[in-house]
Amino acid sequence: MRKKNLDSKKVNTKFVEIVFPIPTVRSFYYSVPDELQDQAKVGVRAVAPVGNRVTTGYIINTFEEIESFDKEIKPIEDIIDSIPFFDENYLRFAQWVADYYFASLGEVLEAAVPYGSDVESQKIVQVDPEYLFEEIKNSEVRRKNYIRLLQILSEKKEHTYKELQKKLKKENLYNKIWQAFAVLLPVQSVGVMGDARTYENVLALRAVTSVDGMTADWYNFEGKFLAKVSNLIINKVAGVNRVVYDISSKPPSTIEWE
């Protein structure tokens, strides 16, 4: 692992060296945003831009300072793991394997990741740009937090859960809602899908604001947002033909349903 010696100008921030599961022995250098500083460790996976795409690589070194590049050093976009997959000893072994089999270090580390840990499976939020544009345009100015949330969503077409969670925390929006969940009710409802009647399940959505959990109020989402969520659930989740939103406060109701 080495620092690039391009000039003597120092930059005071945290940097990482990353290898990707591609057939090249080259490693890449990135800066680390403030909200990811504590998570950027050797052995964790990071999401970062490579050329014209964003992909997942493995952090193999970290620096508190680095010789600056002729070009601007791009930041990583996310850290996938809370616990490193490998340490310095395993990294040396992986490098030996890569040299022996004429493979890249990134390809060897990729082969060592447990099945089902692929970051692609964590991309769960897909954005409808047209809906977000209309929602931002038509929302009341006083709903600053809601509008900011829509603006964050509009920054990309797709977000990982962890990435979105970090952005919301940074904007102090994550804690605006105390708790949110869905309840599949033990009742069925008559509906119409196409030309046929259906007799399927009801899903209740619940989101509340609170300070200590002793009292709570339901979160006042925009009606258009709830309509969008309802349509997505009914169209994408098999067996659900009705969605309701719980507007009960605590007291008299509790936050949870049971």
Q: How far apart are CA 96 and CA 8, in angstroms?
A: 32
169: phi then psi, degrees, rounded to nearest 5: -65, -40
Rounded Cα gap, residues 235 and 243, in angstroms:
11
Three-state secondary structure call for residue 106: helix
Of 247, 255, 184, 245, whose CA–CA distance to 214 is shortest? 255
- pLDDT (average), residues 12-26: 86
Token readout for 218 is 């339901």
- Kindly tell me if the per-residue pLDDT of 249 is higher than 60: yes
Alpha-carbon distance of 54 to 22, in angstroms, equals: 13
- The whole-number pLDDT of residue 97 equals 92
* Confidence category of residue 120, pLDDT binned at 50, 70, 90: very low
For residues 2 and 18, give the distance between their C-alpha atoms in angstroms, rounded to a whole number. Answer: 12
Task: Specify the pLDDT at position 136.
Answer: 62
Strand order in the sheet with 10-19: 28-31, 10-19, 53-67, 45-50, 78-79
* Residues recorded for the chain: 258
| Residue scoring higher pLDDT (229 or 159) | 229
Residues 160-198 pLDDT 10s: 666 666 666 665 555 678 888 888 888 888 888 777 888
pLDDT at 123 over 50: no
Q: Which of 184, 180, 190, 227 is nearest to 203 (CA)?
A: 184
Q: What DSSP element (H or E) covers 153?
A: helix 144-153
pLDDT number for residue 37: 86
For residues 89-101, average pLDDT = 91
Residues 6+ apart with CB under 8 A from 73: 11, 15, 29, 30, 31, 66
The least confident of 18-22, 109-113, 148-152 is 148-152
Task: Render pLDDT for 41-76 as a digit per residue (tens, 0 to 9).
Answer: 999 999 888 877 788 899 999 988 766 555 678 899
Report whether pLDDT(144) > 80. Answer: no
Residue 125 pLDDT exceeds 70: no
* Mean pLDDT on 213-238: 84
Does residue 34 have a pLDDT over 90? no
- Assess contact for 23 and 107: CB atoms under 8 A: yes
Residue that is written with structure tokens 């050797």 in the block? 42
**More confident: 14 or 154:** 14
- pLDDT of 28 reads 92
How does residue 77 score in pLDDT terms, banded at 50, 70 and 90?
confident
pLDDT at 14: 86
* Other Cβ atoms closer than 10 A to 13: 15
Q: Which contiguous run of DSSP H or E holds residue 28?
A: strand 28-31
Residue 16 has pLDDT above 90, yes or no: yes
Is the pLDDT assigned to residue 132 strictly greater than 70?
no
Q: Confirm if 94 and 54 have CB atoms less than 8 A apart.
A: no
Say what the pTM is. 0.45
